[in-house]
Structure 1
């Protein structure tokens, strides 16, 4: 009987290793529909897994062409203004565990372990990355997409009802004007080179725009009207992607609601994840306790061309 008890942990470990090889492919294939960072921020996994930091340059070109005589010597030149930035890459972890009793029951009944614990660990890792992607992490000195200090932040005009700045206090025309002002601000700031194709709003503002009609007799909501009449769609024929995300209700100056307009392109914004989430081999961490660690390594969000991103506060 003593031999049987002593052998139990080794048999349980072997059983868990076999089960993990079945569970992990299922977990890696799972997509979480409400995790938005992969569809809103270009992700780069090309850097070496154990790299300590990623260096990038944020630049802008200055200069203009002008009329020129064939006998002249003062050819106008373009100059590149480049600033070096470095993003630290750090490691994070989340895993799951089983005790000998749980594994023993499964072995006795001939049952496979379900993927619930592994899925929960992977889900927690995605929520962590989502938080860093949008809001950054002060403990690591990281900012996110919605609170980068290099991005131009302007206050919404105070011409709503009662001189308020919020979209809820404004007419459909005023809301469209404020949104188009941010889109054209990027167009002007980049000297006509690009225009924002993505707009992020607090969920509360998105809900208001998606349920409030443009007038008492028209069934069209303000959101639908904005989607059709914004300057990006009118200029390019493309669809302006308008999304609601968490964290914008207090991201603006003075804790106000913030709108983010940007061009969703790796040359503008990028997040480095050199080591995507992975499970390590199962190991025994106690006399009757077994653990499957999960690791991932990531940096913050790099806004490489700040003029291609704009914030509007007080909406």
Structure 2
């Protein structure tokens, strides 16, 4: 049996191949095919595939900073009933009764109904029929990937609706309500600075206590209306959480504030947290701190119809399946406008 000379192989290069011209491409060796295609064959076969799908980096904090009520359907408005009381002569000496009096003061109630707008959130998902068949080869679900994208879009929308509202529809949020009293932080820091980083822990505590007391005073010092929630930019909250009260102390400024604020003294468990929407939200693009009551009695947002798959149908013209996702959401409802205060320049 006689062997035909197929050429020599030296250092990854075919040196000579006298019979190669007569050999069809499909009969070449694996080495020859790899060399001819720049190693693409080996690369595709020997690569290690990372099965993790890395989604965009983002954060949502709306569920932490406002009560979200679920249910109500596809209503166009959310109503809330308020009542004010009055009595003839006032409640101090008006009800004092004397012998021989022929009448008593009567209590009266003034009812007022507030209306809050809702809006429909809707977004679609389209999956090509061919891509659905390819899922069987790739092992990945395109529908699952797109569904995660829809949920991310919904959460970003809810975050914006909570903090700044939807400008096109004339709604506002937690940090830009025009009816909320706005104050400037006191200039007690170095060189009369209003920023927290230029102040001592005691001066920062004074700013927070002043805001808490101002809100509580507007609520006529109702024991249930002691502010319990503060949000500020991450820059400030991280400074407070990582800076010690003094060089010799182990306690951070944040812990010092949580332990010694006037809200805690009056039975309220104060929360202080970071919120990206507070950055530059104040007058003149200054940083804003929001002090308020985070309780359903005082403010809330309704998720009347939670995000759900509304319908799916085949689309023969485009050879795909179209799916609609929808939800019905209310604007931020602040029932007592005096239970919130903005402090700018921190």
Calculate the TM-score normalised by the size of structure 1.
Answer: 0.81
**Native 8 Å contact 1:64 1:78 kept in 2:** no
Alpha carbons of 1:37 and 1:77: their partners in 2 closer, same or farther (altered >3 Å)?
Answer: farther
1:50-65 matched pairs, under 5 angstroms: 50-57=74-81, 64-65=91-92
Match of 2:231 in 1: 200
Q: Distance in 1 between matches of 2:205 and 2:219?
A: 21
Q: Distance in 2 between matches of 1:262 and 1:174?
A: 20
Displacement of 1:118 in angstroms is 0.8
1:293-308 matched pairs, under 5 angstroms: 293-308=324-339
Match of 1:28 in 2: none
Displacement of 1:84 in angstroms is 4.4
Q: Counterpart of 1:271 in 2: which secondary structure? A: strand
Q: Counterpart of 1:208 in 2: which secondary structure? A: helix
Displacement of 1:39 in angstroms is 2.5
Q: Distance in 1 between matches of 2:214 and 2:110?
A: 20
Displacement of 1:99 in angstroms is 1.0
The Cα offsets for residues 197-239 of structure 1, whole Å up to 9 and x where unpaired, read as: 1111111110111112111211211111001111111221x43
**Native 8 Å contact 1:280 1:292 kept in 2:** yes
1:230 pairs with 2:261: yes
Q: Counterpart of 1:126 in 2: which secondary structure? A: helix
The Cα offsets for residues 93-132 of structure 1, whole Å up to 9 and x where unpaired, read as: 123221122111235x495726222112112111111111
Q: Is there any run of 5+ residues in structure 2 with no aligned partner, and where?
A: 1-56
1:69-80 matched pairs, under 5 angstroms: 69-71=97-99
Q: Distance in 1 between matches of 2:194 and 2:103?
A: 49
Match of 2:147 in 1: 118
Q: Is there any run of 5+ residues in structure 1 with no aligned partner, and where?
A: 1-31
When you count helix as a share of all residues, which structure comes out higher? 1
Q: Counterpart of 1:282 in 2: which secondary structure? A: strand
Number of aligned positions between the proteins: 281
Match of 2:340 in 1: 309
Q: Which stretch shows the higher mean deviation, 180-189 or 63-72?
A: 63-72
Q: Counterpart of 1:284 in 2: which secondary structure? A: strand
Match of 1:88 in 2: 117
Larger radius of gyration: 2
Q: Counterpart of 1:186 in 2: which secondary structure? A: helix
Q: Counterpart of 1:192 in 2: which secondary structure? A: coil
The Cα offsets for residues 142-170 of structure 1, whole Å up to 9 and x where unpaired, read as: 00011111211111112211111111111
